[in-house]
Structure formats: C-alpha cells, structure tokens
C-alpha cells in the first residue's frame, strides 16, 4: 500500500482544487442560501471525467482506481461538500450497481451517458417507514407480463427529480421479506413516476433531496437490475461502496474547516498575540490534525482493499465512514468555537462546514449502524444451528443392517472400537471386522487411554479426523471429542447396548445390543 500520491493523482488534485476555487467557490453562498442544485458545474465535472472515475473506459469511464476516486471526492468536498456528495451518489449508488449487476445491454444503454456526466444518476431505497431498517420496504413492483407496475414512494433521495436515471428498490414478493426485494432501473419521464416534496435541509443544501412517487409507474421488464429477489443484496453492496464516498466527503469537510481555522488563527490577535500562539489552542489543533490524518489512512486503506478485491470490504468501509464522519463533526464544532462569534455568522464558511458535517453521521448508514457492522465482525453471531439430524434407524438383526448397507459405497471403511469392550483382547473383534470389510482399524480416546490401542489409531479431536464411506462405531458412547473426528463420515453405524448413548444421535444406522453378541455375527455374515 502506497503512502504517497502518484504523479497522476497530484495532477487530478491540482485540477480539482483549481476548478473548485474558480468555478464552485463563487456560487457557494447563493447555492447554500437558495438550495440550488449546481447542475452547470456538475456537468463540467462530467466533462473532466469525475462522474465516472472508477469505471472502465469501454463504457465511458475514466478507468481510475478507488483510491483516486476517494481522493477526488475529498478534494472537492474541501470547498463544497454538496458537490462531493453529488459525485459520490452518482458514482457509487447508480453507476456502480448498473455496472456490477446490469446485463451487457443495460450497461451499454445507461453507462456511457452516466459516466460522461451527460446524465445524472440517483438511488431510491429509503422510505417513510424504512430508513435504517431498509428491509421494511413498502414500494410494490407487480409483474404485469411485459412490464412491472411500481406503486409507493421514496424519501430523502439525493438528486430526486433532477437525476435522469434511478436505481430503485421495490417489493416483488412481500411474503419473503428481504428476499422479496428486487432492484429496477427507472428513468425520469417514465409514466407514473413523479417528483414529490423537496426537503428544506440544514446542510449540503446544494444537493437537492426530494420525495419520489410511483403511481402505477410502468417499468419495462428488461429494466429489472440483477436477479429477481436479489435487490436487497444490490442495495447493501452499493451502500458499501457509497460509504467510501461519504467518508471522503466527511474527510474533505474536516480538512477544509481545519485549513480555514489555521489561516484564521495565524491572523486573529487577542491579548496582544495571535491565536496560534496560545498553547491550549495549538495543542487542540495538533490533536485535530492527527485525527484527520488517522481517518485518511483508514479511508485510503478501505479504498485499497476494495480496489484489490481483498477481504473485509464491508467492515473497512464502515470503519472509514465512522471515523471520518466523527472527525468531521468534532473538527467543525471546534473550528466554530475557535472562530468565536465570527464562526457563528454566515460571513465566513465555518458554520456551513458544521452544518454540512452532521449528515455524514446519518446517511449511507448512521454511525450506530457502522458500529453494528464493525462489532459484528469482532463478535460474530453464531450460525443458526444446523437442522437436527434424523435419529438413527435401529435394526433388530444383523441381516437387516447388512441389507441397508447393500447399496452404500464401500471404498473406504473404518472400524473403531471403544471402552464398551471392557478389555484389550476384546478389540480383536473390531480388528476382525476391519479385516472382513477390507477396512481400517481405529479406536476411541478412551480405548487408547486404557492402553488397548496405539495413539496412531485414535480418532477424535485430539486424534485423527476421518471421513470414510462407512464408519463402524463399536462400543463407543459418542462423546463430543470423538464425534469431532468422525462426523464427516458418509454413513455412521453404531453398535452399543445403551439405547440412550449419544452415538445414536450421530449415527445413520444402529443396533442396540451387546457388542460381544453382535460383532461375531456381523463378521461372519459380511460379504456373503
């Protein structure tokens, strides 16, 4: 993992810094005051290749990596977090799921215009009753043969009503819960698709957020994205990618507020000296910069993991978002404090940074959800217990047992004896069964501990683990230690006089009876 920027990345940083200062900074105050979507500058970012950064050139993308992508979102967000989240939503939540789950026809149809920024993309998941609990979807998609009919609504949709292409989640089978959610590509202007209420937000006011309404919206059958019933997977994996962009936006907010605070402290004087000369404030700034750098390392590591297909994409993205959003909020609050009264008025951009920072702890999964994701990795839930094995089929006679085993594969057979034989010479019966069946002799830990068999013969947790076609457990009670060594056997046959012995719960077939009576008959009749 590299810890410095490449020459290409430095060029992109410089290009975006110049663009943001020249094109975005002059419109910031009006955009924030009037909650105007900056469509003109977004289109210019598209011409610069920013709206399709981590996608192949064959579809119109820039062919860049995810580290460069998050670097770009951070750089833009230092000046304007609204532009940062617009780039993030478009790339991660619309283009990525189409690229990842779309058919070749869907990719060729939608991606070129999207990746060149000629069309804007958005994502429709959240509903009035399905925020953090995304599984509580109420929007319905009814199969009408050659099309789906969508009915319902989405709320808090970034770019709602402005975007041209939407990836929308809807229920295709409500009886199946999350497995009944499917993803669709919905285009602006489709019959029955409307923009609802536009929200008046506290921050990132340039990123317009609106309600989406589906009233008998006709969506062609070919616009199903991915497999039927796999929409929840589409949504969750898209959010994993989206969290990288939100973390980058938050990091840009923190860095932007920090840089302006440094500048302010170098010029503002109180009590005859500059604010930078007050050790308490300087130490606070040192801690702030350390947190920003630490968060950046987490973010770039997460981007590196995704780019290289390494394990841990979900939790690394969650850590990055949790850290970066928390840092953004803490840094901007302190930045306002350090600016004093000037930090609370709109003459300076510091109060806007603080307003913009808060949402990074909420969308794409709240900080509490990020902690759930991370802690779930630390303390994984135990898998649901496997379906309880059917009890062993118990036979009254050896003949019945042999008949049941007639069609069972017998390439590898292990005959194992336990303490049910009471003495060492009795295990000769197990050895004779191994000879008669062409199998291998083995023993339980109990038999080995009694000196009746060698350690090399032991099957169990502290012995060998075996998986033969047939495993004869003769005079073995079936303690967990032994079961761990033979549970992979295709067919387990138990012979024990105790009908409540645990071995019968693990066995497929069994005979309840004295091994001294059953074993000689089994040996004599095998192979006849």
Q: Using one digit for the tens of pLDDT, what is the confidence trace for 324-341?
A: 999 999 999 999 999 999
Q: Which residues of 401-428 are buried (b: 16+ CB within 10 A; e: fewer)?
A: bbeebeeeeeebbbbbbbbbbeeeebbe
* Options 75, 364, 425, 455, the catalytic residue: 364
Phi-psi region of 245 (alpha: psi -120 to 50; beta: other; left: phi over 0): alpha
3-state secondary structure of 342: helix
What stretch of H or E contains 112? helix 104-115
The residue-averaged pLDDT of 348-366 equals: 95
- The answer on pLDDT for 68 being more than 80 is yes
- The answer on pLDDT for 387 being more than 60 is no
* Edge-to-edge order in the sheet of strand 413-417: 393-395, 509-512, 491-496, 470-474, 413-417, 440-443
Q: Using one digit for the tens of pLDDT, what is the confidence trace for 88-119?
A: 999 999 999 999 999 999 999 999 999 999 99
CA torsion 262→263→269→270, rounded to 10°? -30
- The answer on pLDDT for 380 being more than 90 is no
- In the chain, the domains with their CATH numbers are 393-525 (3.40.50.1220)
Give the HSE-up count for residue 308: Cα atoms under 13 Å, Cβ half-sphere.
12
CB-based contacts of 344: which residues, under 8 Å, 6+ apart? 336, 351
330 CB neighbour count, 10 Å cutoff: 15
Could you give the CA distance from residue 55 to residue 113 in angstroms, rounded to a whole number? 13
User: What pTM, to 2 d.p., does this model score?
Assistant: 0.73
The percentage of residues in the chain with a pLDDT greater than 90, rounded to a whole number, is: 81
Of 448, 447, 430, 406, give the one whose Cα is nearest residue 495. Answer: 430
Integer angstrom CA distances of residue 420 from 252, 398, 423, 475: 72, 19, 9, 4
Integer angstrom CA distances of residue 451 from 41, 222, 417, 464: 83, 71, 13, 17
- The answer on pLDDT for 381 being more than 80 is no
Give the range among 39-48, 327-336, 390-399 with minimum mean pLDDT: 390-399
What's the pLDDT at 362? 95
If pLDDT is split at 50, 70 and 90, which confidence band does 128 have? confident
If pLDDT is split at 50, 70 and 90, which confidence band does 391 have? confident
3-state secondary structure of 135: coil
- The answer to whether residue 364 is catalytic is yes
The residue-averaged pLDDT of 416-441 equals: 90
What's the pLDDT at 2? 66
């Amino acid at each position: 993992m590299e810890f410095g920027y490449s020459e290409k990345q430095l060029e992109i940083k410089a290009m975006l810094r110049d663009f943001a200062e020249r094109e975005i900074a002059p419109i910031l105050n009006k955009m924030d005051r009037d909650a105007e979507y900056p469509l003109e500058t977004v289109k210019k970012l598209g011409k610069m290749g920013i709206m399709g950064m981590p996608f192949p050139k064959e579809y119109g993308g820039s062919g860049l990596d995810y580290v460069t992508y998050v670097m770009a979102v951070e750089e833009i967000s230092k000046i304007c977090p609204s532009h940062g989240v617009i780039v993030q939503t478009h790339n991660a939540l619309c283009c990525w799921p189409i690229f990842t789950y779309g058919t070749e026809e869907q990719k060729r149809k939608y991606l070129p215009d999207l990746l060149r920024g000629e069309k804007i993309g958005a994502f429709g998941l959240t509903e009035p009753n399905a925020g953090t609990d995304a599984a509580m979807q109420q929007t319905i998609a009814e199969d009408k043969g050659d099309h789906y009919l969508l009915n319902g609504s989405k709320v808090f949709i970034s770019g709602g009503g402005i975007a041209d292409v939407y990836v929308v989640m809807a229920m295709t089978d409500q009886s199946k819960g999350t497995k009944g959610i499917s993803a669709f590509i919905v285009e602006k202007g489709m019959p029955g698709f409307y923009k609802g209420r536009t929200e008046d937000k506290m921050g990132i006011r340039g990123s317009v957020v609106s309600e989406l309404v589906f009233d008998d919206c006709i969506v062609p059958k070919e616009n199903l994205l991915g497999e039927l019933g796999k929409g929840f997977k589409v949504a969750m994996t898209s959010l994993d990618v989206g969290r990288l962009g939100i973390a980058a936006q938050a990091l840009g907010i923190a860095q932007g507020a920090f840089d302006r605070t440094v500048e302010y402290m170098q010029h503002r004087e109180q009590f005859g000296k500059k604010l930078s000369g007050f050790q308490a404030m300087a130490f606070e700034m040192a801690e702030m910069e350390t947190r920003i750098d630490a968060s950046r390392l987490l973010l770039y590591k997460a981007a590196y993991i995704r780019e290289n297909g390494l394990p841990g994409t979900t939790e690394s993205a969650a850590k990055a978002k949790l850290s970066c959003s928390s840092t953004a909020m803490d840094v901007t609050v302190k930045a306002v404090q350090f600016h004093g009264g000037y930090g609370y008025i709109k003459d300076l951009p510091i109060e806007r940074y603080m307003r913009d920072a808060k949402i990074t702890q909420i969308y794409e999964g709240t900080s509490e959800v990020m902690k759930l994701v991370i802690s779930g990795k630390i303390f994984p839930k135990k898998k649901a217990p496997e379906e309880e094995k059917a009890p062993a089929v118990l036979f009254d006679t050896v003949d019945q047992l042999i008949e049941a085993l007639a069609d069972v594969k017998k390439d590898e057979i292990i005959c194992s004896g336990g303490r049910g034989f009471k003495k060492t010479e009795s295990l000769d019966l197990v050895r004779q069964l191994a000879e008669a069946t062409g199998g291998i002799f083995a023993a339980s830990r109990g038999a080995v501990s009694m000196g009746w068999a060698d350690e090399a013969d032991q099957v169990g947790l502290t012995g060998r683990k075996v998986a033969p076609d047939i495993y004869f457990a003769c005079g073995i009670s079936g303690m967990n230690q032994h079961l761990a060594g033979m549970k992979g056997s295709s067919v387990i046959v138990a012979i024990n006089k105790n009908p409540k012995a645990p071995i019968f719960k693990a066995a497929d077939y069994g005979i309840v009876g004295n091994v001294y009576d059953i074993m000689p008959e089994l040996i004599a009749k095998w192979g006849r």
